[in-house]
Amino acid sequence: MPTPHNSAQPTEVAKVVLMPGDPLRARHVAETFLHDPRLFSSVRNMLGYTGTYEGVPVSVMGSGMGIPSICIYSYELYNFYDVDTIIRIGSAGGIAPQVQVRDVILGQAASTTSSVIDQFGLSGTIAPVGDYGLLERAVESARRRGIAYHVGNILSTDLFYRDDSAFDKWADMGILGVEMELAGLYLNAAKAHKKALGIMTVSDRPLTGESLPAEDRQNTFDDMVKIALDVAVG
């Protein structure tokens, strides 16, 4: 049945959901890549669509910005709509020296500065990780398509603007890039015993000031979407 944040009926959402932060990017993915996409929810303008890709049902829905927002939408999809897999498709800032603008990062794990972990009452600090099977298929897709990619640890932070980012220290610990959602998604997936993967396009490099021009982002982001769809129907 519909939730406070999703007006879809359970049968209207596919088992696999692609989840960009921006609801307008969800619409772009649906209209560009899916056959016969149908809007299943527009509550709070967080657009969600279901169509097919290579004959397989696939949904795409926005998550909004930040861990609190993606935790709401992914929790409802996993627990109320019986979704099996959520694939985050979004942007990240590359902080490792080898990570360049336009590269794709496949999030093997997600470190975080957020207190979201505290809710689980664990006696230590859990390391949220993506599903290995999904990650393996994403690597195979990127190789086959000739897309530059990196696999490793991502930092999910609560703040976009902050006085002291210390990104150089995180990079020194092997963190590839920084974004704002993935740790929340991985934690929800773990708690629900479901699957998740983060696939992010590097839109900028905070430590160097390099940034991807707005007019160039569309095609580069579509490379990430193609990997995600390969994984979804794999």
Catalytic residue positions, numbered = 204
Element (H, E) at 231: helix 217-233
Those residues whose C-beta lies under 8 Å from the C-beta of residue 83, and which sit 6 or more positions away, are 13, 14, 15, 16, 17, 59, 77, 194
Candidates 152, 105, 98, 99; CA nearest to 129 is: 152
Structure-block tokens of residue 96? 């490792």
Q: Cα–Cα distance between 119 and 145 in angstroms, integer? A: 40
Backbone angles phi, psi at 94, to 5 degrees: -80, 125
66: left (phi over 0), alpha (psi -120 to 50) or beta: left
